[in-house]
Structure 1
């Protein structure tokens, strides 16, 4: 599993569960707690993820009001679209940029 796929899986798990701990996510995804925490730093730049410290009530929370509106691209899909994007120009390039901006988990204009 690539880092992008792992982050996507973390987000999908949080959308289902709304609350989880880093230790549970690390065990489920087969990575260290430190890796999960690094992923959460990145994810929190894009999504309203709240990390609360503490033994009681602590953990990783996703607010009840937040729901994923659309599916995200897998890393393989995103790589393919980035390759195709290099061959485009004009309106086609703008459309491809909008697709990537809307559906890619992490993307910035390059």
Structure 2
């Protein structure tokens, strides 16, 4: 597994579990804790990753981060809302589900 694949897998795992330790991640991916820490440094440049020291510490993501969610830019949302005014019936329902 390449470093970028491992980092993506770490991020996916943190999105699912929300909290993990470096020791568990190292064992899971078959690498050292130092490798996991360097992966976390690289990931923290792009994602809101927090590390907490202590007995109950570990790694966690911001609660709002979900990789399975997709977001529209404000311009995209404004355009879709403008277009929604011209739609009716099923098309309007589909557009509302996209905006929701």
TM-score bucket of the superposed structures, by smaller chain = 0.5 to 0.7
Partner of 1:3: 3
TM-score (norm 2): 0.66
SS of 2:59's equivalent in the other structure is strand
Q: Alpha-carbon deviation of 1:65?
A: 1.3
Instruction: Give the number of the structure whose alpha-carbon radius of gyration is greater.
Output: 2
Partner of 2:62: 63
Q: How many residues align?
A: 69
Q: Deviations over 1:40-87 (max 9, x none)?
A: 00000000000111112x1001121111135xxxxxxxxxxxxxxxxx
Runs of 4+ in 1 over 4 A off after TM superposition: none
Distance 1:61 1:3 in 2: 20
Matched, 1:40 2:40: yes
Distance 2:34 2:53 in 1: 14
Distance 1:47 1:63 in 2: 9
What residue ranges of structure 2 are gaps of 5+ in the alignment?
A: 71-100
Q: CA RMSD in A?
A: 0.9
Distance 1:50 1:27 in 2: 20
Q: Which has the higher contact order (CA 8 A, sep 6+)?
A: 1
